[in-house]
Structure 1
């Protein structure tokens, strides 16, 4: 079952879709009969639907597997209110936390199994959120940016950034991007931030991604391996593009993500049984 919801964020409204789990799994331990929560964070000038309905498909398949899933539009995107280009990465992180607040407040959510899935620029938002919020236990990065400012300027073109600085704003696909937006991107370094996260991480990237280099996946893994806590798994999908548009690549992406998430839940259950 799915339900369209709105979440208040200051004077603005975040539009979101809530996917209920098909059935409540029977588990043992202190969090028995509770369900894992997954939030999907979309990328630059994207929406909760995703290119070729990537996030819709993912949310429905995870819900069928027993997960409570929330996909949402950042301010100024999709059906949310606000202006995207007037915000920045810091605001995206704050919005992600607002959605997280809502998700954790839902009944029957397992607080030990809270996951953020971040795609592209949404990966940076997920990384920074997870590093600062201990409620996030697992992190899944799909084709995540590594250097938000340079990665997004590569997409928009340097001239568009120069125009934003010179005139106070510039137009990209109908989105009015301001210097504040670009400055916020420059303020964060996800490769440094992710080292602060002590949970488990799955990094996925396609070899034919011409938007964000597949090399970033290996850099994320290298950084994550230096931590004292938390594990990191990596999946490289041969010939997959930035949005996993091929049916075969999309199926592999979702299957890999689902199996990894199921594995985290199994590990948590085993740990709880050991504690008992």
Structure 2
């Protein structure tokens, strides 16, 4: 993705940032962690670092087993493919996002019932440990 963005003449490769909301926040955080040298700053808006838990929350074992037969799991009316879910289960979103070492802004409310504030706090605290800064 970064290679594609950097291919445009109007893009200054020294000023690329990443912003994402929810799953996009998780992706932006992992991208920044993997490509530190190409990412100047990030803004993570309710980053879904708990993505592997969200679609399965409240599901019965039988529902999960049935989803493998159907090829998808229903999540609030959205069909998430089994392949997608298997991929999500292999990701360590918090670890990848926490390895980023440049400017970061977190936007997260304390009444979110899908992605708890503790997810952003964990990423922020891990990200800033080496800088001896705070996450307030």
TM-score relative to the length of structure 1: 0.42
* 1:161 CA drift (Å): 3.7
Larger Rg over CA atoms: 1
From 17, 20, 27, the counterpart of 1:115: 17
From 123, 126, 136, the counterpart of 1:220: 123
Residue 6 of structure 2 aligns with which residue?
104
**C-alpha RMSD over aligned residues:** 2.6
- How many residues matched? 133
From 205, 217, 221, the counterpart of 2:108: 205
Residue 129 of structure 1 aligns with which residue?
31
From 121, 138, 141, the counterpart of 2:44: 141
1:180 partnered with 2:83? yes
Change (3 A) 1:152 1:169: closer
* 1:206 CA drift (Å): 0.9
Once residues 50 and 122 of structure 2 are traced to their aligned partners in structure 1, the CA distance between those partners, rounded to angstroms, is 12
CA-to-aligned-CA distance 1:28-51 (integer Å, 9 cap, x gap): xxxxxxxxxxxxxxxxxxxxxxxx
Note the 1:45-124 alignment, pairs <5 A: 97=1, 100-124=2-26
CA-to-aligned-CA distance 1:54-81 (integer Å, 9 cap, x gap): xxxxxxxxxxxxxxxxxxxxxxxxxxxx
Residue 58 of structure 1 aligns with which residue?
none
* 1:211 CA drift (Å): 1.8
Answer yes or no: is the 8 Å Cα contact 2:98–2:123 preserved in 1: no
Answer yes or no: is the 8 Å Cα contact 2:17–2:41 preserved in 1: yes
Once residues 67 and 130 of structure 2 are traced to their aligned partners in structure 1, the CA distance between those partners, rounded to angstroms, is 38
* 1:109 CA drift (Å): 2.2
Gaps in structure 1 of 5+ consecutive residues: 1-96, 235-276
